[in-house]
Every structure is written in structure tokens, then in C-alpha cells.
Amino acid sequence: MSTSAIPQNYTSTRADSATEWIKSWLLTVDHKRIAILYLLSINFFFLLGGLAASLVRVELVTPQGDLMTADMYNRMFTLHGVIMVFFFLIPAIPAVMGNFLVPLMIGARDLAFPRLNLLSWYLYMGGGVFALVAAITGGVDTGWTFYTPFSSSYSNSNVILTMSGAFIMGFSSILTGLNFIVTIHKMRAPGMTWFRLPLFIWANYATSLIQILATPVLGIALLLVMVERVWRVGIFDPALGGDPLLFQHLFWFYSHPAVYIMILPAMGVISELISAFSRKRIFGYEFIAFSSIAIAVLGFLVWGHHMFVSSQSVYSGLVFSFITMLVAIPSAIKVFNWTATLYKGSISYRTPMLYALGFIGLFIIGGLTGIFLGVVAVDIHVTDTYFVVAHFHYVMVGGTIMAYLGGIHYWWPKMTGRMYNEAWGAISALVVFVGFNMTFFPQFVMGYLGMPRRYHVYPEEFQIYHVLSTAGASILGLGFIIPIIYLTLSLFVGKVAGPNPWAATGLEWSIASPPPTHNFDQTPVVTEEAYAYPEDAAAQDSDSWQAGSHL
Amino acid sequence: MNDHGHISVRTYWNVFGGLMLLMGLTIGAYYIEKLVLPLPEIVAVGIALLIAFTKTALIVTFFMHLKVSSRLAQLFAASSFVWLLIMFMITMGDYFARGWPAQTGPLS
Ligand code: HEM
Ligand SMILES: [Cu+2]
């Protein structure tokens, strides 16, 4: 039993009993184990949010409200939105992949504050429990945006419980950001200069800045709604002397930057994937790095584009519209650089790359429709319609979830030491892509034609689009379930991956898979830039290609 | 490696005393305004904010160790105030320009 061997990797333990084993996970301060805890819990919330989405989509198959009452429908899409935004999209990539990879990529043994990291996970779970209890005991009907004065004075659903959940989860997000910033500043291995950092690190650094600067404002806004609800202090309700628009200002001061909390880490993942599967140095490294920072900063100045049709001053609207155009520039810079990286690369269409290419296409559609919405005159026509719903699903599902899945597949061999079934991987990536477009493309059309969001009864002329969308959602759902199956199977039957199955650059690929508990036996010394693929790697690959070798 | 200087326990108590004093001042100001000397709202709120800012400054400088922290930590702390300023400025810009131009459309 008690061999004195040191655990070989972070997943193996010396625990003798089941309780000890459980304790060794729940009380761990190892960033890699915490990443796994996050992986499991975040995926749980994703499935739950997906369940709510399915019920919404099933209700919408017919123009009548036959499955749910209007009130139930409100609670259902709110549940979907709250869970997906606060408990999946915001934490997903930083908390799972960031936690696992930030120390590995910069050559550190752990994050700067390992205990704080564990606390973040508990806060996340604590917030999740609040949200779940709120859902089980009746749910909320305010929408994920919690607009006042409905949320503060009129709604009689579980507003306070849900808001507390989001509030607590916010602290988890702040602490993760804090941890990353300190780690990236202080714990880089010798030789790992700022401009040798992988772009995933730059992206997470920019995200962390947003997390610590914006999240407190959401916390305060939610707290003020609760105060108004409980003690009738007049802050947002005009009947009490407040201003409902103040809530929208505070909420979007957080929530617009929050959409960049979702997309920036995703862009970081894509930079890694594109470079690794083109076997080429990334094009325009500095531009991609600085565009992350530019997005983080400019993202704070555009929140009023969510308020064009509120009673916001038209002059404010004008300025917000203009700055919204500016923020699209750094996003476009990234897309151009990824595309330029592909040029003359040796591209292999492995599963992660399929997701990365899917990301680029879908993000372009999502981003460009964002520009439509940023133009006041167009937005007045389509605001609060399915056009907006389609826009943000293209960026959040087509962007963030594509990158999340691509990243999970890319680093799966590193996390678990096993390869998954490549054929199933490719199939499900295609299923996700097709299902996704079928679900959300019709929503652009019906939104433009006037289908409002958040209604469960609608004119018959829109039915065809809703039926298409629900059919697409079933395919999409399938595309999310297949990976759960083959990834789980790979743990038992997968081929052993070895340290570097993709022949990629980066410190994380220089150590065993799964990584040893303390990551690096000796502190690595970095002597080259990130993505240092040989100049002629692509040419060599194509020369040595023959029928039957890997794509 | 050690960026931290030292703040004595004595200083902590002094700051604590100062904070208590300022809290008394906040409450006192409320009663003076309500009972003795009714001030225009903008002045009253201004005074309350001034006291609040002083309290914040004391907490941040001493309890949060900013006084003895590295330049980098100070920079991060300062940036959060810049961001606060951004939030206030743009939000107040909206309030300021709310009624412009006076409604001339078919609705009025
Ligand atoms: C190219 C950059 C982008 C631009 C110019 C843009 C612009 C806009 C505008 C103007 C709206 C308001 C529409 C309305 O309510 O009438 C909006 C809504 C939204 N956008 Fe974007 N967007 C961009 C990228 C993103 C990204 C990357 C995400 C998330 C990952 C995102 C998520 C959202 C969400 C969630 C909403 C709707 C919020 C709600 O009302 O529930 N956007 N976008
Ligand atoms: Cu926005």
C-alpha cells in the first residue's frame, strides 16, 4: 500500500480511503486540480442552462403558448440567461483553462495565491447554490438584465436570492482576476519577458483587468436594488424618488465589459490554436497582444449602446455610437492577423483547429452585426428583437463556446494524458457548427422582420423561423453531448498522449502529461519567443506529406 | 522581494480613531442639516461626500497598505479611481444632456 513514491502527476494521490481522496480534491490548492473542479462544476451549470434553453425552444415551436404560461416562460429564459452568463460564460475559459495553463505557460509552480484560488471556487459554488435555490423555489422573472424598477419594486419572484448568487459569484471572478494579474507580473520564469508570453496569457491579463475594475460596479448595482427592494430606499424607482436609468448605467458599465470577459480569453485560445495547427509563428504578435489591452480599455467606454432607446440623452447616444465603432477595430485586427497566420501555413484540420476556424467565421458575423446595432438608426429598428438575440449568440456561442470546446480538445491530452477519438471529435465539431448556424441564423431574419425577444406567443408568420431554430437547437444539443461521451471514454481507453502530441511550442508542452504536481522539476529558462516554429516548418511538412499521413 | 514597509499598530489605532471621528461627523452633519441649518441639497451632499472620501483615503492608505506598497500596486489602485472617474463622467454627461434638444418631434 504505502509505497513512499511521490505522486507521479497531479491527479494521483496517496490517499488511503475514499474520504481522504475526496478531501485531497476539495481542499487542494493545486491550480491544476482547482481547474478540474471548475471544469466539472462549470459544465454542470452549462448543461443546466442548456436544459432551460431547450424548454424555451420547445415552447417556441408553436405560435401559441401551449407548454408554459407567460409567467413560467419569463422565469425560464431568465434562468437560462442568468446561468449561462454568470455561471458559464464569464468563468468558463479563465477559471478552467486559465487556472490550468497560466502557471504552466509562464513557467511557475502555481498561481501567486493558491488558497485564494481555492476560495474563488468555493465562492463560485456558493453563488451557484444561491442561484439554484432561487430557481427551485420559484425562479426569477426579470431577465438576466434585472432592469429596474421592475426588479426593485414590482417583481414578486426570487430577485434577491438570484442577485445574491450573482453578487457572490462576482467575488470569485474578482479574485481570479487578481490572482492572474499578480501571477503574471511576479512569477514569470527567467527569460519569460512580456513579449515572449503566449498570447493566451496576454488575453487573460486583459480579462483580469476588466474583472477587477468592472465587477465591483455590478456588485454595487445589485446591492442597491436589494436595498431598494427591502427597505424602499429611493434609488431606482421613480415612485420613491429614484431614477431607473441609473441602474442601466451601472449594470452596463459592468455588463458590456463583461462581454469582453467572455470573448477575450476565447480570442487567446484561438491565437494558440491557429498558430499550433498552422505550424507557423503567429502573424503580428504585438498587434494581437496590444489589441487585447485596447479592447479591455475601450470596452469600458461604450456601455450606452445598450441604452439607445431608453431615455438616455441623444447626445450620449451619439458619442456611445461613435466609440462603439472604435472598439470593433482591435477585434478586426485580431481576425486579420489570424487569417494572415494561416497564409502559407501547414494547416492540419484536427478537432481543435476545426473549432478555431469555426470561431473565426462566426465571430465575424457576430461582430459585424454588432456594428449594425451600434448604429443608432438601425438599432432603433431592431432593438429588443431576435436580431439582437442572434447577434449575441453568434459572439457568445459561436465565439466563446467554440473557443472553449476547441481549447478543451487542444489541452485535453495535457490535462488527462489521453487522446480522444479524432473521428468523433471532427464529427461533433461539424455537428456543432451546422446546428449552431441553423439555430441562430433564422433569428437574424425574424428579428429583422420584427419578432420581439422575450415573448412566448407570436404571430404565425414567424413560426417557420422558430421551427428551424428549434430543429437547429436539437442538432446543436447533440453536438454538445457527443464530446461528453467520447471525452469521458478517452479517460479509460484513450491512447496515451505523451508530453507533446501536437508537436506544439510552449512551456506547457515541455513537461509530462498530465503534469507533475509541482509542474516543473527545475525552473525553466526561456530563451526564445512564443510560437518559435522553424521558419520552414510549413514547407517541410508539405514536402514530407504523403497520402495517408495526417491532414 | 519584500515590497512591504511597516505600519505600526499605533498608527492603526490612530487611523481607527480618525475614522470613528469622521463617522461621528457624518451623523452630526445629518442632524445639523435637519434640525439646525437647512442647507441646499447640493451642499449637504457635497459635505457628506467629502467626509466619505476622507474616510476612503484613510482606509486605502493605511489599512490597505498602499502607503508602503510597491509602485506597481499604487498604480493599480490609482487606476481604479481613474475608472471610477470615467464612470461618473460619462454617466453624469448623460444626466447633464438629458433634455437636449427640447422635444420638437410629433410626440410633443
Ligand atoms: C464587434 C464588437 C461588438 C459590437 C459593436 C456590439 C454591439 C452591440 C450592441 C449595439 C448591442 C445592443 C443591441 C440592443 O440591445 O439593441 C449589443 C448587444 C449585446 N451584445 Fe454585442 N457587440 C459586439 C460584440 C459582442 C461580444 C464579443 C459579445 C459577447 C461575447 C456581445 C454580447 C452582447 C450581448 C449579450 C448583448 C445583449 C444584451 C441584452 O440586451 O441582453 N457583443 N451588442
Ligand atoms: Cu455592449
Q: Is residue B58 part of a domain?
A: yes
Nearest to A309 by CA among A376, A242, A252, A259: A376
pLDDT for B24-77, tens place per residue? 999 998 888 888 888 888 888 899 999 999 999 999 999 999 988 889 889 989
Half-sphere exposure of A315 (CA within 13 A, CB side): 13
Q: Is the CB of A320 under 6 A from ligand 1?
A: no
Contact call for residues A403 and A269 (beta carbons, < 8 A)? yes
pLDDT for A433-459, tens place per residue? 999 999 999 999 999 999 999 999 999
What pLDDT shows up at residue A277? 93
Q: Is residue B25 part of a domain?
A: yes
Helix (H) or strand (E) holding A370: helix A351-374
CB atoms B94 and A313 under 8 Å: yes
Q: Is the pLDDT of residue A132 over 70?
A: yes
Q: Is residue B2 part of a domain?
A: no
Q: B32 and B53 share a domain?
A: yes
- Domain range enclosing B41: 7-64
Count how many domains chain B has. Answer: 2
A1 confidence band (pLDDT: 50, 70, 90): very low
A187 CB within 8 Å of a chain B CB: no
What pLDDT shows up at residue B5? 64
Q: B34 and B52 share a domain?
A: yes
Q: Is residue B108 part of a domain?
A: no
Q: Is the pLDDT of residue A249 over 80?
A: yes
A14 confidence band (pLDDT: 50, 70, 90): confident
Q: B12 and B58 share a domain?
A: yes
Cell of B48: 457628506
Q: Is the pLDDT of residue A3 over 50?
A: no
Cell of A243: 431614477
Q: B43 and B91 share a domain?
A: no
Chain B residues lying within 8 Å of A316, measured CB to CB: 90, 93-94, 97
What ligand is nearest to the CA atom of residue A371? 1
pTM greater than the 0.95 cutoff? no
Identify which of A300, A311, A319 has the shortest CB distance to residue B86.
A300
Please tell me the total number of residues recorded for chain A in this structure: 551
Q: Is the peptide bond before A515 cis (omega within 30 degrees of 0)?
A: no
Q: B60 and B13 share a domain?
A: yes
Q: B34 and B59 share a domain?
A: yes
Q: B12 and B43 share a domain?
A: yes
Contact call for residues A135 and A79 (beta carbons, < 8 A)? yes
* C-alpha torsion A364→A365→A371→A372, nearest 10: 160
- Judge if ipTM > 0.95: no
Q: Is the pLDDT of residue A17 over 50?
A: yes
Please tell me the distance from the alpha carbon of residue A299 to that of residue A511, in angstroms, as a whole number: 37
Nearest to A254 by CA among A295, A218, A298: A218
Q: Which residues surround ligand 2, an ion (CB under 5 A)?
A: A 256
CB atoms A304 and B90 under 8 Å: yes
Half-sphere exposure of B32 (CA within 13 A, CB side): 12
**In chain A, where the domains are located:** 33-540
User: Burial letters for A508-528: b for 16+ Cβ neighbours within 10 Å, e otherwise?
Assistant: bbebbbbbbbebbeeebebee
Q: B12 and B60 share a domain?
A: yes
Q: Is residue B52 part of a domain?
A: yes
Write down the mean pLDDT value for chain A: 93
Q: Is residue B84 part of a domain?
A: yes
Q: B78 and B59 share a domain?
A: no
Residue of chain B whose Cα is closest to the Cα of A317: B94
Q: Is the CB of A362 under 6 A from ligand 1?
A: no
Q: Which CATH superfamily is domain A33-540 in?
A: Cytochrome c oxidase-like, subunit I domain (1.20.210.10)
Q: Is residue B39 part of a domain?
A: yes
A549 confidence band (pLDDT: 50, 70, 90): low
pLDDT for A260-301, tens place per residue? 999 999 999 999 999 999 998 999 999 999 999 999 999 999
Please report the beta strands in A141-297, taking only residues with DSSP state E, as ranges in sequence order.
Answer: none
* C-alpha torsion A235→A240→A241→A246, nearest 10: 30
**In angstroms, what is the span from residue A254 Cα to ligand 2's centroid?**
10
